[in-house]
Structure 1
């Protein structure tokens, strides 16, 4: 009996190894095809030894700079519901951090000041002129606020899209394991297989990308299956406590601040709401607004509300 069990375990192990080998090969070939198919839509610039991607457009005297939330595989596609509404009134620039979208990977530590320096250099290299309106989604509140702390003269105002209070983030346990697991699922081909079986599972938290054009949805899918859970993304999460604590050291912003908070379809957590209200007090010209019928990705549910707040800040 033990001999039969041992053989079964051996055969099962070999079978799993074959399946994983097929999966890794499948993912590698598919990702390579996607990379060749989806070439950069914006421009690539060398920043500290590696290339970063920035997508710009619009017209006007000021520039709105978009910083994507943690794990957003394609900031270019994710912010499209917003920049399409703003392009007639202002210039805009979508930043793709290292490890995101078309940008390359980097060996630089994912320290918040490194991220800010990279963003600033990318803006400079691409010819953008301050002062900017900085728009940060979710965890990108950290780099957005940090930019304003270090370079207040280059910032005209800040709009946060369900962006967390740095003090709130400093008390949260990093979900590094989740990022590592999802990264393994990607490299093993299991994520790609799951996406093809049930695409809605991946898109439902972003309103099924209702306001994103079909051709951009394809790009979004491609980068989800290329970038999800990579080393740079995982390292960002690993640094969340240190980064949040650094930003929390200076709670006095010299620029206008608008904090947009998703009501999570009536299920907003009390401690999160309190932290959002408190965050708005970091600026003497701060305000906090609860956006109904939306979750964390407010721009995928209520882009008009965000666009209106950005335009209002531009007029100040």
Structure 2
């Protein structure tokens, strides 16, 4: 009996030591993360112009020239559109004017308490394009959840839109029923990895997490842009501001559905091979325009503009022409 009690006592002691060690490591990681974010502020010098949009600052990065303007809209939670669309903007530079921007709370943009409804997002983008001197017609390129933003923009300003390209974006019907709780949990899990320094520690071990395409994007960027991308990733992974977008997913999708199809605005749907249920969602998008096409690219990923860049550049060039 005495030996049994001693064994139980030793096991409890070992468990306490393990828990204490984990807590200490997480505290150290948290402090390290805060110090590094402050240090990396010097890396995050803004690229582009800033404008006061709807009572908060928004940055826009533009390059190239031409009669058409290609507008890139980042997916939910993407830390920086500047780095995420850097390669596409560079490839399209000789053919058109291209712009990228971030919504409130990401990139170099200020946070805002204004609700992130689909109409607010569309109106802010329209105001940003006008104030920054961009000229229509626009070719809208939306990744992931940004499919709702670009479709709603085309519904509100149809004469200013020449065409739409969706990069593995879901259909409004899909997002109208998608689980906001699932997105919330993923966001909070990602935030935990960031705040405790776990994501940074993994990065220092050359393990790039696939949560926001960092494992694809970071390796393909020039060294100076890579530093910005890394700093943005460690600053915004699981960003709390994204919760304001997540809470409106279903409502925003229903608003898009309520306003109906795009009629004759061309719609190019480029999809990843993410299973039959996702393929069904991609086929649903075909009904959103009288001139629509859909292509599933095999051996691709959700950040399809990094695994299949050349194909996407060619499809955008077709719309430009």
Query: How high is the TM-score relative to the length of structure 2?
Result: 0.88
State the SS of the aligned residue for 1:261. Answer: strand
Aligned to 2:43: 37
Aligned to 1:70: 76
After the TM superposition, which residues 1-316 of structure 1 pair with which residues of structure 2 at under 5 Å, given as runs?
Answer: 18-174=24-180, 175-202=183-210, 208-209=216-217, 211-254=220-263, 255-262=265-272, 264=273, 268-315=274-321
Residue by residue over 1:212-255, the C-alpha shift from the partner in whole angstroms, topping out at 9 and shown as x without a partner, is 32322222111110011112212212221111121122331041
Q: Is the radius of gyration larger for structure 1 or structure 2?
A: 2
Q: Find the aligned partners of 1:307 and 1:7 in 2 and give their Cα distance.
A: 60
Q: Superposition RMSD on alpha carbons, in Å?
A: 2.5
Kindly state the Cα deviation for residue 15 of structure 1 after the two structures are TM-superposed.
Answer: 6.3
Asked whether the 8 Å contact 1:42–1:55 carries over to 2, the reply is: yes
Asked whether the 8 Å contact 1:27–1:186 carries over to 2, the reply is: yes
Q: Find the aligned partners of 2:127 and 2:213 in 1 and give their Cα distance.
A: 32
Residue by residue over 1:71-124, the C-alpha shift from the partner in whole angstroms, topping out at 9 and shown as x without a partner, is 211211111221111100100000111122222222121211121122122212
Q: Find the aligned partners of 1:207 and 1:37 in 2 and give their Cα distance.
A: 20
Kindly state the Cα deviation for residue 53 of structure 1 after the two structures are TM-superposed.
Answer: 1.6
State the SS of the aligned residue for 2:193. Answer: helix
Asked whether the 8 Å contact 2:43–2:228 carries over to 1, the reply is: no
- Count residues in correspondence: 311
Asked whether the 8 Å contact 2:208–2:215 carries over to 1, the reply is: no
Gaps of 5+ in 2: none
Q: Cα gap change, 1:256/1:170 in structure 2, threshold over 3 Å: closer, same or farther?
A: same
Q: Find the aligned partners of 1:34 and 1:57 in 2 and give their Cα distance.
A: 26
Asked whether the 8 Å contact 2:75–2:144 carries over to 1, the reply is: yes
Q: Cα gap change, 1:12/1:200 in structure 2, threshold over 3 Å: closer, same or farther?
A: closer
Residue by residue over 1:248-294, the C-alpha shift from the partner in whole angstroms, topping out at 9 and shown as x without a partner, is 223310411111112x3xxx322221221221221111111222331
Asked whether the 8 Å contact 1:136–1:144 carries over to 2, the reply is: yes
Q: Find the aligned partners of 2:19 and 2:281 in 1 and give their Cα distance.
A: 49
Q: Cα gap change, 1:26/1:296 in structure 2, threshold over 3 Å: closer, same or farther?
A: same
Asked whether the 8 Å contact 1:42–1:53 carries over to 2, the reply is: yes
Q: Find the aligned partners of 2:26 and 2:215 in 1 and give their Cα distance.
A: 32
Kindly state the Cα deviation for residue 144 of structure 1 after the two structures are TM-superposed.
Answer: 0.7
State the SS of the aligned residue for 2:159. Answer: helix
State the SS of the aligned residue for 1:92. Answer: strand
**Range that drifts further, 185-194 or 228-237:** 185-194
Asked whether the 8 Å contact 1:207–1:300 carries over to 2, the reply is: no
Q: Cα gap change, 1:21/1:60 in structure 2, threshold over 3 Å: closer, same or farther?
A: same
Asked whether the 8 Å contact 2:77–2:212 carries over to 1, the reply is: no
**Range that drifts further, 211-220 or 43-52:** 211-220
